[in-house]
Amino acid sequence: MKKNAIKLLMISLVMISCSKNEDVANSVNLHFNNTFKNTTIVLGGLDSPVATTNTSADGQVHQFSELKYVISNIRLVKADGSEIPYNVNDLDKGATVVNQAKLSSLDYMLADIPVGEYKQIKFGLGIKPGLNTLDQFRFPVFYATAEANDTEMMWQWATGYRFAKMEGFYENDHKKFTIHTGSTLNGKPGQPDTYVQGVDAYRDITLDLDTRLVVGGNKPQITIKADFDKLFSGKNKISINAKYATAPQQHEGMEVMVEYVNNLGGDDKEDRAGMFSIEKVEN
């Protein structure tokens, strides 16, 4: 009798663990399409014949030689409104650097997403306060990704990460621009009342999935468009000049940077999309 009971238990345990692999969760791929309006960006050096050019609202022609940004704090919202956080407090498992020069970085696979229908995706452009310290001990993988020489997504002096890095050339004489964003907020992790004397460049993005994401048998993909036309021609129309070409530097500091941050990631109030939109959902 006892033996039979144990057998039954074992079998049911095996069944439970099996069913967990096949029906309970699946992966979701996030694909990032970095564009100027509807054209996917091709990077290029000073006199590159292939680099995609764009014209700003102010009529300034520009192109990118480098384009990187950090995505973290990813959450998927189910049809019933419940939120599935994806390693939101673990930069090693839940954050990535999207680098236009590195094809593999344009895809980010979310593993073990519970089965179901999803109506929304939320994520952060940059890293939320409290996690944004250069903590190699806690998150060696992300630290290494950010530190890599071809990436350099760190502000050592502020012991924080760079959130976005856009470099390139503008106007016919190909003047250089260098736009970097990041936070300088100080305080204790997870205690917002201690955050003082800094600029918060983290932006929380919310995008509706008009075609619902279905996690189940297949491995669905969400293509997120990041339209860098918005950099100079978003809510803030920015004319690139000496002052605006080296944000946040050139003695003008963070005020200029925040205009760019709001164009890319919204203002964290009414505009929660910034340059981002859902291009398509493939189930």
Partner 1 sequence: MKTVIGILFTLLIILSCSKEDSFVLDNDSNPEIPFFIPTDFPALNTTVKDNRPTKYGVELGEKLFNEKRFSGNNTISCASCHNPSLAFSDGKMQAIGIEGRVGLRNTPPLQNLAFMKFYNWDGNILELEKQPLVPIITHEEMNSSILEVIRKIGDDSDYKDLFQKAFGEGGITPDRIYRSIAQYEYTLISANSKYDRVKRNEGERFTAEEERGYTTFKTKCASCHGTELFTDQSFRNVGFPMNPNPEEAGRGRVTGRQADQMAFRVPSLRNAAYTAPYGSFGQFPTLRSVLDYFDKGVLDAENLDSILKENGNRIPLTEQEKLAIIAFIGTLSDPTFIGK
Question: Applying CB under 8 A, which residues contact partner 1?
Answer: 134-137, 140, 143, 147, 154, 156-159, 184, 186, 196-199, 246, 248-255, 257-258
Round to whole Å and give the CA distance between 20 and 208: 28
Closer residue to partner 1 (CB): 227 or 259? 259
Amino acid at 75: R
Least Å from the CB of residue 136 to partner 1: 5
Closest approach of Cβ 255 to partner 1, in Å? 6
Q: Where are the alpha helices (DSSP H) in 25-148?
A: 91-94, 140-147
Which of 12-29 are b and which e, b meaning 16 or more Cβ less than 10 Å from the residue's Cβ? eeeeeeeeeeeeebbebe
CB of 179 to partner 1, least distance (A): 13
Q: How far is the CB of 256 from partner 1 (least distance, A)?
A: 9
CA 28 to chain centre: 15
Closest to partner 1 by CB, 118 or 170: 170
The single-letter code of the amino acid at 225 is K
The nearer residue to partner 1, 118 or 143, going by C-beta atoms, is 143
CB of 251 to partner 1, least distance (A): 5
Which amino acid belongs to residue 189? P
Comparison of 116 and 187: residue with beta carbon closer to partner 1: 187
Helices (H), 108-246: 140-147, 230-233
Nearer to partner 1, 246 or 283 (CB): 246
| Minimum distance, C-beta of residue 156 to partner 1, in the bound complex (Å) | 4
Which residue's CB is nearer to partner 1, number 60 or number 183?
183
